[in-house]
Amino acid sequence: MTATATPAHVLGRLADERRLRVLAAVALGETSVPEIAERAGLSGDETARALAQLMGAGIVTQEPSGLEVDFRAFSEAARAASTPRRRPSLDDATPEQAAVLRNFVDEHGRITALPAREAKRRLVLEYVAARFEPGREYDEKQVNGVLLELFDDPASLRRFLVDEQLLEREAGIYRRR
């Protein structure tokens, strides 16, 4: 399995009918693009695109004898999917925040998504706001730096913090309320 081929990545590659047909043709013994295209009932271009995706995920490999299914990709993906996820340390969160955050952070403590429910989202935002010292002034670049440590979209997170009145913004300067 390649570095980017997570279990979700491998499964995602199989979620397309053309890629699945190409994989089946390879698994049935076809080893060249024309043979695979004919067996899969696809054009050469469709087959080449599907093969590129499958090879990128490590599902199909180029061997001296031709293209082959690499079943290790499936066993590695299954092993990775069954490995229990490490719980992040949320020592700086209140018990209520930690209970919600466990569902919305990865093993590194980064927020993967914001809750849709307002009450849960508020708890996550309060946790984020605690990263800022009360009364201290921050410019937008500093705020983004803090937020990027926690979330991939600092602009959205910043907007939520201001909208929820956890941070106030005045003339490009931010303060924790």
Average pLDDT, the chain: 89
Q: What is the pLDDT of residues 84-112, one digit of tens each?
A: 666 777 888 899 998 899 888 888 888 98
Which of 24-33, 48-57, 76-85, 105-114 has the lowest average pLDDT? 76-85
Residue 162: predicted pLDDT: 96
Q: What Å distances lie between residue 132 and 53, 127, 169, CA to CA?
A: 43, 10, 13
Our separate counts of H helices and E strands in the chain read 9, 5
Each residue's pLDDT tens digit, 148-169: 999 989 999 999 999 999 999 9
Dihedral angle computed from the Cα positions of residues 153, 154, 159 and 162, in that order, rounded to the nearest 10 degrees: 150
pLDDT, one tens digit per residue, over 34-45 is: 999 999 999 999
- Nearby residues of 35 by Cβ (< 8 Å), 6 or more positions away: 25
pLDDT for 81: 75
pLDDT category of residue 143 using cuts at 50, 70 and 90: very high
| Exposure string over 21-36, b if 16+ CB within 10 A, otherwise e | bbbebbeeebeebebb
List the one residue out of 160, 154, 177 whose CA is nearest residue 125.
Answer: 160
- Does residue 58 carry a pLDDT above 60? yes
Query: What pLDDT score does 137 carry?
Result: 95
pLDDT of residue 21: 96
What percent of the chain lies above the pLDDT cut of 90?
64
C-alpha–C-alpha distance, residues 90 and 6, integer Å: 25
Q: What is the pLDDT of residue 4?
A: 44
**163-167 contacts, C-beta under 8 A, 24 or more apart:** 164/122, 164/125, 166/125, 166/126, 166/128, 166/129, 167/129, 167/132, 167/143
The 3-state DSSP class for residue 153 equals: coil
